[in-house]
Amino acid sequence: MTLSPAHIRWLSLIRYQARVAEEQSALPAPLGTLAISGLQDAIEAMLGLVAEHHGIPVQRMSPFDKLFDAVTNRFDALEHYRGPLLALNSARVGYKHHGNHVDQSTVERHRLAAVTFLADTAKVCLAQDFHAVSLTGLINDLDARGLVESAETRWRAGEQHRALGDLRLAFDELIRNYENTTRRSGRSFFDARPHPSASYEAARARSRSQLGAFGNAQGKHFEDWLRNLENRMKMLAFGIDLRGFAFFDAQVPERYRIGPDGVTVDRLPGQSSEVPERVFRLCHRFVIDTALKLGADDFSAEQA
């Protein structure tokens, strides 16, 4: 039975929930305990998705064990997860209602059980590879979503640098569209440059003519430096992880070039011909996280 678009989006959200919880599980004690709630939420969401997709009757607000049993009565291949998942549920109740912390080894055990269950359930009940579920359905910007999907396709086809190029274009599209919603009188709320005026432009032109060729080169260098600082300040203002942006910016090409053989991608100086999969995954995740962050905030000029 094919998943509906709504169920595909639901599955994408579950994968995102699980990813966030896995990242929390790696935090030092006692912060790793935070993963317990996220893992449990992802499992309950998966059980709810399977029940709805297959028309399995479950009562609204059913206790976790009843929900688990309703699904595994239809899919008994998952029954052996009952013990580990009830233990996870008990740990979540202890943390949520009693403030009980969980040691890191126990958090890791729960993480492994949860992630394995999610993968097996997606395969057995939904005919889906959980770890290959695309998160692009969570991106509201359709142009950016299409570029991220193109990046995934190119990566699978071995077009590594073009895949990174599509991620660059997707990120630029997200930033440009977000900033365009914050414009008033042609200027963004986040524009740090002085407001252009006739007197300002005239003074700037006189300054450049007096500096001469060497001074113009130095001035261009200084302007580029200020532009880079402004760009990073915008990332902070947008709520984007600046460390993630710095890594992304250092890894992806700056632009496409149109050449005699069609579209090619500029490589960065010193960049090898092979792109490690970890680099692509981190850049891909950064673009997804940026899309979710910008989609959650609305500071558009129309709302001001």
Tell me the longest C-alpha to C-alpha distance in the chain: 83
Domain boundary among 87, 103, 133: 133
Same domain, 250 and 229: no
* Cα gap 113→116, rounded to integer Å: 5
- Other Cβ atoms less than 10 A from the Cβ of 168: the count is 23
Same domain, 88 and 181: no
Q: What is the CATH number of the domain that holds 90?
A: 1.20.120
Two structure tokens written together for 135 = 């998160």
* Cα gap 165→86, rounded to integer Å: 45
164 with 152: CB under 8 angstroms? no
What residues make up the domain containing 198?
A: 191-233
Domain boundary among 133, 149, 175: 133
Burial class (CB in 10 A: 0-12, 13-18, 19+), 203: exposed
pLDDT at 301: 42
pLDDT at 183: 66
Same domain, 171 and 46: no
Same domain, 229 and 243: no
Same domain, 110 and 31: yes
36 with 91: CB under 8 angstroms? yes
pLDDT, one tens digit per residue, over 196-219 is 555 555 655 666 666 555 556 566
Same domain, 15 and 143: no
Task: Mark residue 270 as left, alpha or beta (left: phi above 0; alpha: psi -120 to 50; beta: remaining).
Answer: left
Domains held by the chain: number = 3
Q: What single-letter DSSP state applies at residue 99? A: -
For the chain, residues with pLDDT lower than 50 are 301-304
Same domain, 23 and 88: yes
pLDDT at 263: 55
Same domain, 115 and 12: yes
Same domain, 263 and 126: no
pLDDT, one tens digit per residue, over 78-111 is 999 999 999 999 999 999 888 888 899 999 999 9
Same domain, 217 and 117: no
Same domain, 299 and 183: yes
Same domain, 210 and 287: no
